[in-house]
């Protein structure tokens, strides 16, 4: 799909999602208010990824493809001056409303991750969740490097595609939240090559090897044991990260 057509398709898809969510908020079926711990612990990779940003107090941070805006609120609560953008105006509206509901100030704008409207070297830290796999990696990476300050860090949480068995399950089995846009796909090391050509440091950490069964199995005690096993396995054998459900990708800019 051509770039302009792809971006329009993505925008319309996420605007539809945002409209459904807005109706739930209006009807009282959902609440814009939340506590930071509930967000950081809703998936096993979120807290470690967020902590990889480092101390945020006094920093300028960007929520890249902000969606619902929870990460932007969490960064503002941690003391950062936060800008949040999304391709979907509907999600930008939700992020703006969420900031107000939670008593923090966030600059929210509609923008394209492949053509950012921010000056060079604007941000100390960039956060993104499930966004890179929607984008042209070379264009997004070039813009990320441009807006990051020297020595800045970008942290992304992305679905990972190195496990063929998981790929089969994603394509064949029903599970909650499976609705996808036509052009997105879980990332692989090959997809990250443009980022390796742009950034001096690209690190990939896998999450949910055994713990990925939580998508179809909800035994909390058993999942806790599997998560503990994952921690030890991935620490001892980092190459197993290629078989994980999700990856945390750390990009560090040159000093």
Neighbours of 197 (CB within 10 A): 12
| Secondary structure letter of residue 83 according to DSSP | E
Are 143 and 132 in contact by the 8 Å Cβ rule? The answer is no
Residues 174 and 121: their CA atoms lie apart, in Å, by 43
Whichever domain contains 185, its CATH number is 3.40.50.150
Considering only CA atoms, give the Rg of the chain.
18
Mind listing the pLDDT tens digit of every residue in the chain (255 residues)?
A: 567 888 889 999 999 999 999 999 999 999 999 999 999 999 999 999 999 999 999 999 999 999 999 999 999 999 999 999 999 999 999 999 999 999 999 999 999 999 999 999 999 999 999 999 999 999 999 999 999 999 999 999 999 999 998 988 888 776 666 677 777 899 999 999 999 999 999 999 999 999 999 988 889 999 999 999 999 999 999 999 999 999 999 999 998
Residue with tokens 């997809």: 191
Contacts of 185 (CB under 8 A, 6+ apart): 133, 161
Tell me the whole-structure pTM to 2 decimals. 0.94
- For residue 158, the enclosing domain spans 3-252
* Number of domains composing the chain: 1
Alpha helices in the chain (DSSP H): 3-26, 36-40, 46-52, 70-77, 89-101, 137-147, 164-172, 193-198, 220-236
């Amino acid at each position: 799909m051509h770039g302009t057509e792809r971006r329009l398709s993505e925008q319309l898809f996420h605007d539809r999602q945002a409209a459904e969510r807005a109706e739930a908020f209006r009807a009282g079926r959902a609440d814009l208010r939340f506590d930071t711990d509930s967000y950081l612990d809703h998936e096993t990779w979120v807290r470690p990824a967020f902590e990889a940003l480092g101390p945020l107090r006094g920093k300028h941070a960007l929520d890249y493809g902000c969606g619902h805006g929870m990460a932007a609120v969490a960064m503002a609560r941690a003391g950062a001056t936060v800008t949040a953008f999304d391709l979907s105006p509907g999600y930008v509206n939700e992020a703006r409303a969420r900031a107000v509901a939670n008593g923090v100030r966030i600059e929210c704008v509609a923008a394209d991750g492949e053509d950012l409207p921010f000056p060079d070297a604007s941000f100390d830290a960039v956060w993104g969740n499930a966004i890179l796999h929607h984008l042209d990696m070379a264009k997004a990476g070039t813009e990320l490097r441009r807006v990051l300050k020297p020595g800045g860090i970008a942290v992304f949480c992305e679905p990972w595609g190195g496990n063929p068995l998981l790929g089969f399950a994603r394509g064949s089995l029903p599970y909650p939240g499976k609705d996808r846009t036509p052009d997105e796909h879980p990332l692989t090391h090959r997809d990250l090559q443009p980022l390796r050509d742009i950034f001096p440091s690209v690190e990939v950490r896998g999450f949910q090897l055994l713990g990925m069964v939580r998508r179809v199995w909800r035994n909390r005690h058993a999942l806790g044991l599997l998560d503990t096993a994952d921690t030890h396995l991935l620490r001892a054998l980092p190459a197993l990260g290629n078989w994980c459900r999700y990856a945390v990708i750390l990009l560090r800019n040159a000093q």
